[in-house]
Structure 1
Amino acid sequence: MKISSIYLFLIVIAFSSKAQQNQLQPFSPSGAEMERAYSQAGQLDSALRKVAVNNEIIPFWNADGHSFWYKRNLADRNWEFIYADITESVHKPAFDHTRVATIANKFFDKVQEATKLKFDRLIFGNSGTLLTLKLNGKWLEINLDDYSFKQAKDTSFVNYDPRKPLQRKRSRWEGTPSRFLSPDGKNVLSLKAGNLFVTDTESKAETQLTTDGTEKRPYAEFSWSPDSKNVVGYLVNPKKIDSVYYVLSAVTGTTRGQLKSHEYAQPGDVFTSYEPFIFNITTKKIIKVDTEQIDFFEPQPLHWRNNDNRYYLYEKVDRGHQRFRVIEVDVQTGKTRNIIDEKAKTFIYEDRIYTRYLPKTNEVIWTSEQDGYRHIYLVNTLTGKQFQVTKGDFVVRDIDSVDVEKREIWFTASGVNKKEDPYFLHQYRVNFNGKNTIALNLEQGNHRVVFSPDRNYYVDTYSQINVAPVTVVKRTADAKSIMELERGTTTGFTEAGLKLPEVFVAKGRDAKTDIWGVVWQPSKMDNSKTYPVIEYIYAGPQDSFVPKNFTPYSEMQSLAELGFIVVQMDGMGTANRSKAFHDVCWKNLADAGFPDRILWIKAMAQKYPNADISRVGIYGTSAGGQNSTGALLFHPEFYKAAVSACGCHDNRIDKQWWNEQWMGYPVGPHYDEQSNITNAAKLQGDLFLIVGEADENVPPESTYRLADALIKANKDFELLSIPGMGHSDGGAYGRRRKRDFFVKHLLHAEPPKRNVVIN
């Protein structure tokens, strides 16, 4: 059998890499060296925090629509305001900061440094020559031509704030507020002892519409038809959400712990249900809607046909997240018809469903993963016919807006450009018919776009984790760059001695799919030494988590400076790739992508021979706390030490909405089988648990029950409970203890002794 030259080359590389690793010696610092490493890491941390980064340039547009201001970060944690005018190609400091500081400090009677000015409102007028400021309820107007100033009146102009979305995504938990007054103002609804009454606003005549309601099982959640002839309401079967508890043990000025509680739904809990009815105000006829009761989420908004008061649409998500419907109701008969009826063998990611109703054309824009990737669909609400607007092996990440007149959809996607990181965000617009797709940015990197109020221009900032950001103004019509605002640099970081993080890609468990991650190495790494590997993990299926924007310095790098190679990657089971990639998490949170992660780290060690994968640690918070403990329970042959903060160690203890989305409903034996608590006796390696006693996100008993199971299994572990702290990684103290733990158990060195008083 003939061996190909490429295969032979790979074998040689693998053996030479292994041989090189065998020649290296483990980094094993003395106590003095470790003290020095902590000191140097702290100094580097302080120095790098002073280097300016402009990852997010937010333009605040002025009334003219073509000029704006933004805040530019400067070194030493200072900043300045920049004024830009697109039509004049002007880009300059907005004013003399020293003179404005002098005037403002005198007028507002508040001392501020010129390089750290803060105002409640800042508005430019008259081509940037008139500055209006608001602080603490007072208004100041400054003429920037001569810096004369006077008190100003309250201004009605509001800067366009690009941080506020054009269409806020509502949560299905919100429900729909009842409307008691009819649209024509002629009738008003009221409730008495759980029953529905209607009163004529002119004659004051009152009519009782229902008789079977009670205070314990009332009618509620009312919506009027546009013509005021019908009311849609629900017979409600309320269910109380049980509470969870915690004790504040160290409240200042007290000698007793304080018991706190709050409502907290857990997987399998029973929810309030809603049975829909239609009430005809004229005939007083009551029609029961021919559909199942709503027993998951509250009733959703009704969408009526344009100029047709006979039919309305509403959305229904079945509990278990395996069916999503848009249902049409005939108010004359109560009959229903499914306009959209999506079913999944695994899950439908409810929070990523986008719907936009277009009543004038009887259409709805909807996103679905039915073809294996999240894409946009246009649905005819009369026929139910679906048209797929976007297609391909990429993910529609968000819909920015819909131009109904031009029949265009503006959206963000990742994975379109096959030669770059598939998580990088780019912005596009496309016609309803799927034609004329326009890419608003092509530069390699992760893009964030902010449009002008009239959407004729947009500010585009793009970067990569180790490539400094660039911010440009572009014209929407042709996506052409017309003004560069900022161009960052890595110089300040490299001159301070920092080693920038590096992107690494390796194949996952199927030997086909790319797993993307990042490697952080000590800035002063000795190439003759090997260093333990620490993985930062968060495998929550709700998103992907490896940073994509310029992030030259982070906690991962700070930890690396002590003598570790720190890594992070997004394994299978996380979001923002294909549906199949995501589905790995289904009823399988204990998997946490570990088969991919372990292969990735092994491949990383081939490229980075200084990585010692016989000493691998892992840490994480919340779902990452669950994951990091799981590493020692289910993969102890690879992971040797773990730090787990506020972990959801049993998915039955954690919040209902998150866990049922991924683990399914009803609660089955797989919940127990994958529980860290159930599997506590399998612990191998060194484990450090951190929990805040006042955690209202993941109940503290999740960690305490794990500790109880470990004690009963006679296992050694460390536990840090922080009085008064909520959902957290332990704060500064917890992070310091985490570092010390890894230094002890992976470097086998002693961290600085902080309880020793030096005279």
Structure 2
Amino acid sequence: MKKLTLLSFGLWLMGQSLLAQGTVESYNRAFSLQDKFKDKVFYANVTPQWIGSSSLFWYVQNAPQGKTYILIDAQKKTHTHLFDHNKLALELTLATDKPVDALKLPLQSLKVTEALDSLYFVYNSYNWTYAIKQNSLKKGDKVVAVKEEYWGKVDTEREGKPVISPDKKLSAFVKDNNLYVKDLKTGIEKALSTSGTKEDYYSAYPYWSPDSKKVAVMRIHGAETRQLYLIESSPADQFQPKLQTRDYVKPGDVLPARTPVIFDIASGDRKVASNDLFKSQMDLKGFEWLPDSKSVLFEYNQRGHQVYRVLEMSAETGEIKTLVEETAKTFVNYTRYFRQTVNNGKEMIWMSERDNWNHLYLYDRLTGTVKNQITKGAWYVRDVLNVDEKKREIIFSANGMKANEDPYLVRYYRIRFDGTGLTCLTPEEGMHQAWFSDDKKYLVDVYSMVNKAPVTVLRSAADGKIIMPLEKADISELLKAGWIAPEPFVAKGRDGKTDIWGIIYRPTNFDATKKYPVIEYIYAGPGSQYTPKTFISYNRNMSALAELGFILIQLDGMGTSFRSKAFEEICYKNLKDAGFPDRILWAKAAAAKYPYMDIERMGIFGASAGGQEAMGAVLFHPEHYKAAYSSCGCHDNRMDKIWWNEQWMSYPVDSSYIASSNVENAHLLTRPLMLVVGEMDDNVDPSTTYKVCNELIKANKDFELVVLPGVPHTMGGDYGEHKRFDFFVKNLMGVTPPSWDKVVIKK
């Protein structure tokens, strides 16, 4: 018996050794995959640039021999080189004493004059001008890097430049918390208000009426801005750590309150709006003066997002009336926004989800009533690209209009204000991206799918007819390198009716006779849709991880956007749902069709909202998800930024925040978990992750924590990616990952 046991142990060790060797090979394949697929797709990545208001545009053609700058004349249907590549390459070589390849011209931020006589571009950190006909190259100033401002900085509106009146005679500005005007000819200043204080002050963004006789401005009752504190443990310029702070407003925080005020310059009279129609403000924004200078429009977003109003204030009486009112028991999705006044201010185009789908409406501005619904149906308006008041036509993009295909595929359309004349401009199946000429006569259309290479055509913007083909991507070299297209897959959701769409990634050495653990990449935050729909040769979240011997999946369950409002509002006060009832059914349907998908060994990973959801998966659905990698997770919605969390979890902060919290529910953990956090994350408060750790420690739970010094919001970077590989190999394959010094990392 003892000999048998030793023999078994020896066989086990041998098996582990073979598995480990295979794992080393798979790691090396995974880390080299991006390089393997690099530069293997040709005649793709077309990004056209229209030249001024002409019918001309240029783009870079990516051919096997190199890149060429192509000029198209849409009117003449001609296809030529934008300039002589050899001449410019020679001039750059002479100017820099460094050889420049004519088919690898490193031109950044290229601009072309409408006369086609000059190029302006950045090369080697300098601005350059090239006169094409004269073949003359001139070196300009060194490019000064502009430091990006922190995205979350709160604008208190205390500082701003003077605003010049339309007749150029006066300027309006704020001084000592009050509003002033200055006569630009005499230099004489006049205070329009005197009651402003540090706590109650006038905004530094005044709005002049078209006739230059009045100024509209917000009076603001300020609120203290919460600060996020970050310890930079290992700064590059000193040995000791640094404390950094950021503006960071969280759910439940007190917000500023705004009151519209209109000043008459000549008389000094002012009209102060009553706040009856805009109490409990999340935001009060505007203004837009109407052409007759008699009133202004502004918009009110109620705290909790269940009311949104477009309001009109009379400059003569100060009275407020409601033009548009959106209400919802869950939330008004104010980010699905479009408003434009037309017909000299008498009409207004408005976007709304009021009939369960995102559509456009034409309003009578004078009466505040809907004249007609412009777009209608079980589909979703995405963006308005152009409103032509003369023709009374709109160009817009939408998805879901065509039956029996992926409902997320975007196409472009024309329609009249009265809802007639709906015309599809990009009819082929695929995810379309269009660039319109300035006069809206032409469009360049690039379309593809995750499993279909891009096609680029020039179309008429009147009817969508193809004027001339431009490029058709060649992926033959990519296929020779072993690339396998991801597979779109659809299954029914929790209601048994709704189609849930996703994709499946397989390794390049895929063998249908083997069993593969399955890993889901998740980002299910409402407000958008996340599963890729366009062609990409290398998916940074999924391709390499699949190469280790996993099947990777991604899908959009209920709670995400661009379907019906009912589809998205599943998330209301319930972010922990994250579409999991749909995700689990989808995975089971895929495994039923493909038995090589072993969903008994199912993992999940994500970052940010996806980090919250990945951890939530093993807390709330441990029967399905057996291991989770969670990076920079928003683990408790009370800790995260106000604008995203109150939109979906509402206001005031209540027990629903606790029910969705990974911090409050950390004690439920029964599966392997790796938490990753960048110590300089100013998107999601890093303390959210530390709070989760604290609760896990209190509950005596085993978990792994990776803290990345100096790193901002992240999935994990190169180091975190390697840790993620090891985590899933160990916990889903049951294999000890190879020593890091045995793995060749190529980036």
| 2:27 corresponds to | 38
| Deviation string, structure 1 residues 705-741 (Cα, Å, up to 9, x no partner) | 1111111110000000010000001101101110111
Return the offset for 1:439.
0.6
Return the offset for 1:480.
1.1
Return the offset for 1:755.
4.8
SS in 2 for 1:752: coil
* Preserved CA contact (<8 Å) 2:127 2:139: no
| 1:642 corresponds to | 628
* Preserved CA contact (<8 Å) 1:465 1:501: yes
Return the offset for 1:544.
0.3
* Preserved CA contact (<8 Å) 2:437 2:443: yes
SS in 1 for 2:458: strand
| 2:5 corresponds to | none
- The counterpart of 2:287, out of the listed 302, 313, 336, is 302
Structure 1, 735-744 or 297-306: larger mean CA deviation: 297-306
Return the offset for 1:333.
2.0
1:311 and 2:300 aligned: no
CA 464–188 in structure 1, closer or farther in 2 if over 3 Å, else same: closer
SS in 2 for 1:584: helix
SS in 1 for 2:206: strand
SS in 1 for 2:285: coil
* Preserved CA contact (<8 Å) 1:680 1:709: yes
Distance, in Å, in 1 between the alignment partners of 2:640 and 2:524 is: 15
Task: Write out aligned runs for 1:423-502 (5 A).
Answer: 423-502=408-487
* Preserved CA contact (<8 Å) 2:290 2:345: no
Task: Write out aligned runs for 1:178-197 (5 A).
Answer: 182-184=165-167, 189=172, 193-196=176-179
Return the offset for 1:601.
0.1
Identity of aligned residues (%): 42
- The counterpart of 2:534, out of the listed 527, 540, 549, is 549
| Deviation string, structure 1 residues 682-713 (Cα, Å, up to 9, x no partner) | 00110001110000100111111111111111
- The counterpart of 2:373, out of the listed 369, 376, 388, is 388
Return the offset for 1:612.
0.4
SS in 2 for 1:350: coil
Structure 2 residue ranges without an equivalent (≥5): 1-14, 141-152
| 2:106 corresponds to | 118
1:612 and 2:601 aligned: no
SS in 2 for 1:661: helix
| Deviation string, structure 1 residues 415-446 (Cα, Å, up to 9, x no partner) | 01112110000000111011111110110000
Return the offset for 1:124.
6.5
CA 594–173 in structure 1, closer or farther in 2 if over 3 Å, else same: farther
| Deviation string, structure 1 residues 462-504 (Cα, Å, up to 9, x no partner) | 1000100100111122311121111113322221122211010
Structure 1, 743-752 or 388-397: larger mean CA deviation: 743-752
CA 347–172 in structure 1, closer or farther in 2 if over 3 Å, else same: farther
SS in 2 for 1:410: strand
Distance, in Å, in 2 between the alignment partners of 1:497 and 1:265 is: 48
| 1:697 corresponds to | 683
Return the offset for 1:638.
0.5
| 2:148 corresponds to | none
Distance, in Å, in 2 between the alignment partners of 1:355 and 1:30 is: 60
* Preserved CA contact (<8 Å) 1:51 1:74: no
- The counterpart of 2:73, out of the listed 85, 107, 126, is 85
- The counterpart of 2:313, out of the listed 329, 336, 350, is 329
SS in 2 for 1:527: coil
Distance, in Å, in 2 between the alignment partners of 1:64 and 1:180 is: 29
| 2:347 corresponds to | 363
The two structures, once aligned, show a CA RMSD in angstroms of 2.9
Distance, in Å, in 2 between the alignment partners of 1:238 and 1:133 is: 45
SS in 2 for 1:337: strand
| Structure 2 length-normalised TM | 0.89
Return the offset for 1:115.
2.8
Distance, in Å, in 2 between the alignment partners of 1:27 and 1:571 is: 38
- The counterpart of 2:129, out of the listed 139, 148, 152, is 139
Q: Which amino acid aligns with 2:104?
A: K
Distance, in Å, in 1 between the alignment partners of 2:44 and 2:156 is: 33
CA 751–73 in structure 1, closer or farther in 2 if over 3 Å, else same: farther
Task: Write out aligned runs for 1:518-537 (5 A).
Answer: 518-537=503-522
Task: Write out aligned runs for 1:145-160 (5 A).
Answer: 149-151=135-137
| 2:269 corresponds to | 285
- The counterpart of 1:401, out of the listed 386, 391, 394, is 386
| Deviation string, structure 1 residues 540-567 (Cα, Å, up to 9, x no partner) | 1010000000124313122111111110
* Preserved CA contact (<8 Å) 1:55 1:550: no
CA 206–700 in structure 1, closer or farther in 2 if over 3 Å, else same: closer
Task: Write out aligned runs for 1:612-691 (5 A).
Answer: 612-691=598-677
CA 188–137 in structure 1, closer or farther in 2 if over 3 Å, else same: closer
* Preserved CA contact (<8 Å) 2:483 2:508: yes
CA 423–173 in structure 1, closer or farther in 2 if over 3 Å, else same: farther
Return the offset for 1:358.
2.0
SS in 2 for 1:218: strand
Return the offset for 1:752.
1.7
* Preserved CA contact (<8 Å) 2:603 2:625: yes
* Preserved CA contact (<8 Å) 2:170 2:181: yes
Return the offset for 1:278.
3.0
1:73 and 2:58 aligned: no
| 1:216 corresponds to | 199
| Structure 1 length-normalised TM | 0.88
| 1:581 corresponds to | 567
Distance, in Å, in 2 between the alignment partners of 1:348 and 1:214 is: 34
| 1:510 corresponds to | 495
Distance, in Å, in 2 between the alignment partners of 1:127 and 1:683 is: 66
CA 395–174 in structure 1, closer or farther in 2 if over 3 Å, else same: farther
* Preserved CA contact (<8 Å) 1:229 1:282: yes
CA 539–218 in structure 1, closer or farther in 2 if over 3 Å, else same: same
Distance, in Å, in 2 between the alignment partners of 1:652 and 1:396 is: 32
Distance, in Å, in 1 between the alignment partners of 2:479 and 2:587 is: 26
Distance, in Å, in 1 between the alignment partners of 2:184 and 2:462 is: 52
Distance, in Å, in 2 between the alignment partners of 1:710 and 1:126 is: 63
Return the offset for 1:263.
1.1
* Preserved CA contact (<8 Å) 2:349 2:362: yes
Return the offset for 1:231.
3.1
Distance, in Å, in 1 between the alignment partners of 2:241 and 2:233 is: 4
- The counterpart of 1:264, out of the listed 216, 239, 248, is 248
* Preserved CA contact (<8 Å) 1:575 1:582: yes
Distance, in Å, in 1 between the alignment partners of 2:251 and 2:175 is: 34
Distance, in Å, in 2 between the alignment partners of 1:728 and 1:126 is: 42
* Preserved CA contact (<8 Å) 1:340 1:384: yes
Distance, in Å, in 1 between the alignment partners of 2:195 and 2:475 is: 71
Q: Which amino acid aligns with 1:678?
A: E
* Preserved CA contact (<8 Å) 1:305 1:359: no
Return the offset for 1:522.
1.9
1:711 and 2:671 aligned: no
- The counterpart of 1:745, out of the listed 705, 719, 731, is 731
* Preserved CA contact (<8 Å) 2:41 2:475: no
SS in 2 for 1:302: strand
Distance, in Å, in 1 between the alignment partners of 2:234 and 2:188 is: 60
- The counterpart of 1:105, out of the listed 75, 93, 115, is 93
Distance, in Å, in 1 between the alignment partners of 2:189 and 2:345 is: 39
Distance, in Å, in 2 between the alignment partners of 1:482 and 1:299 is: 46
CA 669–327 in structure 1, closer or farther in 2 if over 3 Å, else same: same
